[in-house]
Amino acid sequence: MSEFGDLAQTFLDETFQDSPVLASQLGVEGYDDRLDDLSEAAFDDRSRRSAAWLARFDRLDDSACATFDEQLDLGLIRSTLRGRAILDDWQMWRRQPETYMAPGLGGIFSLFLHRLRPEPELVGSALARLRAMRGALEDGRHNLKPELTPRLYVDRAIRQARSGARYLSEILPSEVHDDALRGELADWGGIAAGAMEVYADFLESSILPTASGAYAIGSDRYSRLLKEKELLADDAASLRDRGRREYERLAENLRRCAQTIDHTDDWPAVLERLNLDHPATPEAMLQTYADWTSRARQFLVDHNLVTLPEGETCRVEPSPLFQRPVTAVASYNSPPPFSTSMRGHFFVPFPPDGASEPEVQQRLENNSYAAIPTTSVHEAYPGHHWQLVMAKSNPSRVRRTFRTPYFTEGWGLYAEQVMREQGFFTDPRQEMAQYEATLFRAARIIVDTSLHIGDMTFEEAVEFMRTRANLPEPTARAEVTRYCAWPTQASSYLTGCLEIGRIRDNYLRAGRGSLREFHDKLAASGGLPIALAEQAVSLSETAK
């Protein structure tokens, strides 16, 4: 094993020990019954060791790597660790209440989502995690500081805690067929649900009244994340300028679509009318998504755009109950990269439990008949599902562990674009919806950068997304809350898409292969930062 390979193996082993829920979700055996240590001492220790690891990997040069692919892996590890270092002093674990709920809820949900083990083993692991949840929530009560915690983080976390409690007490036991195992899961699920309710009460009474922390990470941190973690040329200001230029370009495309459909330049009005044509119920929305997902897959076969890995399937299903209060859009959960499973899960954005009828209708408006084909492409074929099952073929353990949204979300939006270019959207209303989806991502760049460099308030951002991105007010509010909690992620979609398009054009212009070969090669490279992904497709043949 090379010097890098030996060091990377040790680093990954330590990563899995530190983050057993991540390891379990990746399909690494031996971690299903553990939760992450969320104590103050553990956060401090991980911070110290992460800095030490970065110093060790920075001392290596290419000669420490046995292959070109190892050089790419070294770049990926460095970028990951630099991202952690940039945000280390921000101490998100003192600001974000969801930190203490997510491992338990996600760690238990994923066990039964993927079902990689026999049911008795799954239940045993779930019981161990349920028993550990109270301690994780107590760590949150100790670590969170109201003066650092933004009020909007607390509001969001309270809603998620209440929904999470219902998931644990009512939904989780139904995942099990054996009566005795179901009863045991119901007992401990009820206990964990009680702890979740206590945590929600704590947030409501002890954190919310004096929560006054900032969510904006500032221009310097944002720019460093772009340059040092994502390996992009842009800083926060230039990325915002790029988003504004793209918004204007896409608005012109939408104006042309509006002329075709309704003989008007008023494209926002046309989009509002399109939004009113939507499935009547969440269940009808689910069926429409399933139909379009099937059509998109067949289109790939008919037009020879990609290679479909043997055994892959994508299930279309309602979003998890505990995610509905915090996620207003469709999402995807990939098969664990270290497992043999090839089944992904496309989650349709059902309204949260207890939503009023107007709120339900607004959620449905954001999933119109015109827009559903685009979202199906983005989440499934040839978007996230196809790309991530292709990435499973990469032998690198590093690339099966780490990836960046600037590639994966960029790929999802690129998938929409290439399907439009290839003629999948046959109705001009569908084509208009795809342009709107891209304009939405341009608006995300503008809002995300502006929020975090302090040039836009939360309410101004909500108004921008409502009026300039054509979102219903509740969806706009949920979107902006997400941007505040996850800096730079919202900018990843269009930024990554534009970069992938540039790499494709250069690849085809140089005559390196067909469009299908480009798609297969880039998707199988993993989820690398864009600069490394470009090397993966343009330099790999030379390196061999």
Cβ burial 57-96 (10 Å sphere, 16+ → b, else e): beebeeebbeebbbbbbbbbbbbbbbbebbbeeeebbbbb
Same domain? For 181 and 328 the reply is no
Backbone φ and ψ of 445, nearest 5°: -60, -50
> Tens digit of pLDDT for each residue in 93-150?
999 999 999 999 999 999 999 999 999 999 999 999 999 999 999 999 999 999 999 9
Same domain? For 84 and 177 the reply is yes
Is residue 299 within 8 A of residue 415, CB to CB? The reply is: no
Q: Report d(CA 62, CA 39) in Å as an integer.
A: 37
Same domain? For 204 and 256 the reply is no
Q: Is residue 540 part of a domain?
A: no
Same domain? For 205 and 294 the reply is no
pLDDT of residue 540: 61
Same domain? For 206 and 233 the reply is no
> Tens digit of pLDDT for each residue in 364-403?
988 999 999 999 999 999 999 999 999 999 999 999 999 9
pLDDT over 90 percentage in the chain: 93
Cβ within 8 Å of residue 543, ≥6 positions away: 67, 68
Q: Is 6 exposed, middle or buried (0-12, 13-18, 19+ CB in 10 A)?
A: exposed
Q: Is residue 217 part of a domain?
A: no
pLDDT of residue 322: 77
Q: Report d(CA 381, CA 387) in Å as an integer.
A: 8
> Tens digit of pLDDT for each residue in 433-469?
999 999 999 999 999 999 999 999 999 999 999 999 9
Same domain? For 236 and 143 the reply is no
Whether the per-residue pLDDT at 542 is higher than 80: the answer is no
Q: Is residue 223 part of a domain?
A: no
313-318 and 343-348 beta bridge pairing: parallel
Total of domains in the chain: 2
Same domain? For 250 and 288 the reply is yes
Backbone φ and ψ of 313, nearest 5°: -145, 155
The angle formed by the CA atoms of residues 26, 400 and 377, to the nearest 5 degrees, is: 85
Whether the per-residue pLDDT at 473 is higher than 90: the answer is no
Instruction: Pick the last residue of a domain from 151, 178, 210.
Output: 210
Q: Is residue 532 part of a domain?
A: no
Q: Is residue 374 part of a domain?
A: yes
Full DSSP string of 384-424 = HHHHHHHHTT---HHHHH---HHHHHHHHHHHHHHHHHTT-
CA 27, chain centre distance (Å): 18
Same domain? For 141 and 252 the reply is no
Range of the domain at 283: 229-524
Q: Is residue 200 part of a domain?
A: yes
Q: Report d(CA 289, CA 299) in Å as an integer.
A: 15
Q: Is residue 216 part of a domain?
A: no
- Region at 275 (left for phi over 0; alpha for psi -120 to 50; beta for the rest): alpha
Whether the per-residue pLDDT at 212 is higher than 70: the answer is yes
Largest CA distance in the chain: 66
This prediction's pTM: 0.95
Q: Is residue 395 part of a domain?
A: yes
> Tens digit of pLDDT for each residue in 323-333?
787 677 899 99
pLDDT of residue 420: 98
Same domain? For 184 and 276 the reply is no
* Helix (H), strand (E) at residue 536: helix 530-538
What the block records as the tokens of 186 is 């119901």
* Helix (H), strand (E) at residue 348: strand 343-348
SS (H, E, C) 444-494: HHHHHHHHHHCCCCHHHHHHHHHHHCCCCHHHHHHHHHHHHHCCCCCCHHH
Same domain? For 34 and 71 the reply is yes
CA 176, chain centre distance (Å): 28
What the block records as the tokens of 426 is 């046959």
Same domain? For 56 and 128 the reply is yes
Instruction: Pick the last residue of a domain from 210, 239, 274.
Output: 210
Same domain? For 238 and 175 the reply is no
Instruction: Pick the last residue of a domain from 156, 180, 210.
Output: 210
